[in-house]
């Protein structure tokens, strides 16, 4: 897969600079403000792969003082969407079509989301492209799993 994506170029430019990952994360949230609710930090971004983290803090707690299920859904959508964005050729567009989630364990620590394609897409005709997002705690225990169906289609002329 190759891509000529401005977001990927921005990541490549900023991520090696002091405060660059923080700045990139803020810029993504400026573009899609709802994601500021989880205060994500992008740690790795490349074609076919995205990693981001969130801190366990009161604003994302549920009534059990663990990370709320919807905060993990937000993580999954942000990681999966950003990975899809930087992986999709400029001739195509994408949108999330559906998401299936599994809550596997209480999320009692900071969390890391890792998004990858279930199988490498071909990006030719319109198709559902499944993205897998695994969320682990600081002990590397899997606490959440999502499969997001991204609808990827050629842009209209």
Q: Specify the CATH number for the domain of residue 116.
A: 3.10.129.10
- Angstrom distance (rounded) from CA 14 to CA 8: 10
Query: Is residue 1 in a domain?
Result: no
Half-sphere exposure of 61 (CA within 13 A, CB side): 10
pTM over the 0.85 mark = yes
The boundaries of the domain holding residue 17 are: 6-154
Along the chain (157 residues), what's the average pLDDT of each consecutive run of 10 residues?
76 95 95 94 96 96 94 97 94 95 96 95 90 98 98 90
Place of tokens 């663990």: 66
Torsion 30-33-39-42 (CA) sign: negative
Could you give the number of structural domains in the chain?
A: 1
Residues 6+ apart with CB under 8 A from 28: 7, 35, 40, 42, 78, 82
């Amino acid at each position: 897969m190759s891509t000529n994506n401005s977001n990927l170029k921005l990541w490549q430019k900023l991520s090696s600079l002091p405060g660059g990952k923080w700045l990139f994360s803020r810029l993504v949230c400026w573009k899609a403000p709802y994601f500021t609710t989880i205060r994500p930090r992008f740690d790795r971004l490349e074609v076919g792969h995205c990693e981001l983290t969130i801190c366990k803090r009161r604003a994302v707690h549920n009534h059990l003082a663990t990370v709320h299920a919807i905060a993990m859904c937000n993580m999954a959508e942000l990681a999966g969407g950003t990975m899809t964005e930087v992986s999709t050729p400029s001739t195509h567009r994408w949108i999330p079509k559906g998401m299936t989630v599994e809550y596997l364990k209480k999320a009692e620590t900071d969390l890391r989301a890792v998004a990858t394609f279930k199988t490498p897409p071909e990006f030719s005709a319109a198709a559902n492209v499944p993205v897998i997002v695994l969320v682990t705690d600081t002990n590397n225990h899997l606490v959440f799993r999502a499969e997001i169906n991204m609808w990827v289609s050629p842009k209209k002329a």
